[in-house]
Amino acid sequence: MVSIVSDALSLFSSSTSVMMFMRILTSRYVEEDFLESLPRKMIIDLSTLFFSITAMMTAFSAALFLMLHEQSWIFKPSLY
């Protein structure tokens, strides 16, 4: 369940972050926007990007834990 939820959160936040960065790149700004509007949008964009990275790392860790839960972490060569 952790893997599914974190995958969904990662997908949503990464697509939101990309769309917001594209909005900043394609918009036209005047000088006054660089003092208030643009820094606020950049903080929101970076926050969603970091949240996406955190959710992606959580999803990867949960999937790795599910796959390797019953297996040994140490390779033991067999004699036969």
70 domain residue, yes or no: no
Place of tokens 């390797």: 68
80 domain residue, yes or no: no
41 domain residue, yes or no: yes
Find, among 33, 8, 10, 9, the residue nearest to 23 by Cα.
33
60 domain residue, yes or no: yes
Instruction: Grade residue 1 by pLDDT with cuts at 50, 70 and 90.
Output: confident
23 domain residue, yes or no: yes
Domain interval for residue 42:
2-65
Place of tokens 């970076």: 46
Mean pLDDT of 48-56: 89
Looking at residue 40, the DSSP 8-state letter turns out to be H
Instruction: Grade residue 35 by pLDDT with cuts at 50, 70 and 90.
Output: confident
pLDDT at site 3: 78
Three-state SS at 36: coil
Mean pLDDT of 57-78: 75
Q: Is 37 exposed, middle or buried (0-12, 13-18, 19+ CB in 10 A)?
A: middle
11 domain residue, yes or no: yes
Domain count of the fold of the chain: 1
Cut 0.85: pTM above it: no
42 domain residue, yes or no: yes
